[in-house]
Amino acid sequence: MTTTQVVNPATEQVVTTLELVSAAETDAAIERAQRAGADWRAVAPGDRARLLRRFAEAVDANLEQLAQLEVANAGHTIGNARWEAGNVRDVLHFAAGIPERLLGNQIPVAGGVDITFHEPLGVVAVIVPWNFPMPIAAWGFGPALAAGNTVVLKPAELTPLTAIRLGELALEAGVPEGVFQVLPGKGSVVGQRFVTHPAVRKVVFTGSTEVGKEIMAGCARQVKRVTLELGGKSANIIFADADLERAAATAPYGVFDNAGQDCCARSRILVQRSVFDRFLELLEPAVRGVRVGDPAAESTEMGPLISAAHRARVASFVEPSTKVAFTGTQPDGPGFWYPPTVVLPDAPSDRVLTEEVFGPVVAVVPFEDEADAVRIANDTEYGLSGSIWTNDVGRALRVSRGVEAGNLSVNSHSSVRYWTPFGGFKQSGLGRELGPDAALAFTETKNVFIAT
């Protein structure tokens, strides 16, 4: 039996020790999910909706407990963790609207009637990373269950606690055994069985682009459906005509939220050259003002990184030769801390501009004009998110259309709403989650012609 220690990244203390699921246990769970599928897809739409609503209510009733678990397991600030648990509840309520609205078409044809159905896929596997354990899990399992699939879910080895609790809450809410199972285990064991087991019809993977490519290649062997939510290197573009004070005051939160461990982190700030120096002057106090510390404290804005290994990786982006403009603060003592750090790269080829840091390090670079801003923003294989700061509506729309990314915001840094689509261009991913079409990612369209 293999076990893993769950560590609190703010204290380095062991929270608990867990048994990891084996390959044989994964197979057994997939087979249970397959058996449960026949009954689950036959549950009347209104009853499936009611069960999802009860699951949402169970999450809401346990919101504080889930949030506290995430603070202890992932070092998320308590404010963020409460939002994340609330997001699971809201995604489930949104998903509860799906069963009764899974509408097909009636298409005019000669000699009969033609109708389409959205059939469930069967067993859907969801593989979750450690950076947002609750929301990313729910974006997969909510709509998948609503559309009549059964779900097996693998949390990241570092952050399994909230997913395990969500699995218990589903059962307490009356979701039948085998319909939603949480399997804490290794990516190389449990995750791989999801890819290779023929009864799994779809893999929803969120994580690194490197592993995502492997998953996609593995799934190709069985023409298995995949949704991929991968890395990012998003740009925060600030034009000279923008409200510079607001752009500078909010820029730290567009990249340092969740200690920069966010696929949507705006980790490149592009600033029009005519206001470059002024913007840096305004940015400095904003970065120094980010409250870094005990994630359980209500006023904290940034917690620790997830692990010592990850901190070492983040630190590798700031070399002795790197020009550091300024940094924020970090607490002393135990914990995997890294301060908010602003760097001024020498060349477009600098690693800090081309690779995802996934930590609180942001690079600021100047641009000349609108075309130059779009060119630099698109000079990356990623395309997940980004922000555009300008007071010119026409420019806001032109640049929004020009930037190759799935989720953009103008004069704000918001990326995620459960009722709007989310996903990446280029190597940031494949497919979309959430939004009005969430259920279609978990169904096959079937066309039936009936001769009259």
Nearer to ligand TAP, 199 or 249 (CB): 199
Least CB distance to ligand TAP at residue 448 (A)? 35
Site for ligand TAP in 328-357 (CB under 6 A): 356
- Please report how close the Cβ of residue 93 comes to ligand TAP at its closest, in angstroms: 21
Evaluate the CA torsion angle 293, 296, 297, 298 in order and state its sign.
Answer: positive
Q: Which is nearer to ligand TAP, 143 or 191 (CB)?
A: 191
Active site (catalytic) residues? 229, 263
Residue span binding ligand TAP (CB under 6 A) among the ranges 90-98, 99-107, 153-161, 169-177: 153-161
> Using the rule CB under 6 A, which residue among 91, 384, 399, 441 binds ligand TAP?
384
267 is a site residue for ligand TAP (CB under 6 A) = no
Binding segment (CB under 6 A) for ligand TAP, from list 70-78, 185-193, 237-245, 331-339: 185-193
Q: Find all residues with CB under 8 Å of 203, minimum gap 6, and list them.
A: 124, 125, 126, 127, 194, 195, 215, 219, 224, 225, 226, 227
191 interacts with ligand TAP by CB under 6 A: yes
Q: How far is the CB of 144 from ligand TAP (least distance, A)?
A: 16
Contacts of 243 (CB under 8 A, 6+ apart): 389, 391, 411
Nearer residue to ligand TAP within complex by CB, 222 or 445? 222
H or E element that contains 74? helix 63-74
- Considering only 54, 82, 154, 197, the residue that binds ligand TAP (CB under 6 A) is 154
Question: Which of 84, 157, 257, 301: binder of ligand TAP (CB under 6 A)?
Answer: 157
Of 188 and 445, the one with the shorter C-beta distance to ligand TAP is 188
Name which of 79, 76, 78, 72 is nearest 12 in CA terms: 72
Report the DSSP pairing between strands 150-154 and 361-367: unpaired
What is the Cβ-side half-sphere exposure of residue 299, based on CA atoms within 13 angstroms? 3
- Regarding 206 and contact with ligand TAP (CB under 6 A), the answer is yes
- CA 288 – CA 433 distance, rounded (Å): 35
The pair of three-digit structure tokens given for residue 362, joined into one six-digit string? 């942001």
> Does 94 contact ligand TAP by CB under 6 A?
no
* Of residues 295 and 424, the one with the C-beta less far from ligand TAP: 424
> CB count, 10 Å around CB of 391?
11
For residue 108, the tally of other CB atoms under 10 A from its CB is 6
Q: What is the DSSP letter of 379?
A: S
The binder of ligand TAP chosen from 75, 187, 303, 328 (CB under 6 A): 187
Q: Is 131 in the site for ligand TAP (CB under 6 A)?
A: yes
Q: How far is the CB of 193 from ligand TAP (least distance, A)?
A: 9
Q: Which residues neighbour 211 within 8 Å (Cβ) at sequence distance 6 or greater?
A: 187, 205
Q: Give the residue among 3, 29, 263 at the shortest CA–CA distance from 125.
A: 29
Q: What end-to-end distance do the CA atoms of the chain give, in Å?
A: 61
Q: Does 84 bind ligand TAP (CB under 6 A)?
A: no
Q: Is 31 in the site for ligand TAP (CB under 6 A)?
A: no
What token pair was written down for 424?
């990446």
Under the criterion CB under 6 A, does residue 424 sit at the interface with ligand TAP?
yes
- Applying CB under 6 A, the span of 5-13, 40-48, 149-157, 252-260 interacting with ligand TAP comes to 149-157
Residue 303 sits in the site that holds ligand TAP (CB under 6 A): no
Considering only residues 207-236, where is the footprint of ligand TAP by CB under 6 A? 207-208, 211, 214-215, 229-232
Among 311, 300, 331, 203, CA closest to 261 = 311
Would you count residue 128 as binding ligand TAP (CB under 6 A)?
yes
Beginning with the edge strand found earlier in the chain, give each strand of the sheet holding 123-127 in spatial order: 180-182, 150-154, 123-127, 200-206, 225-229, 429-430
Find the shortest distance in angstroms from Cβ 186 to ligand TAP.
4
Which residue blocks in 105-184 are alpha helix, DSSP H? 133-146, 161-172
Binding stretches for ligand TAP (CB under 6 A): 127-132, 136, 154, 156-157, 186-188, 191-192, 206-208, 211, 214-215, 229-232, 263, 356, 358, 384, 424, 428-429
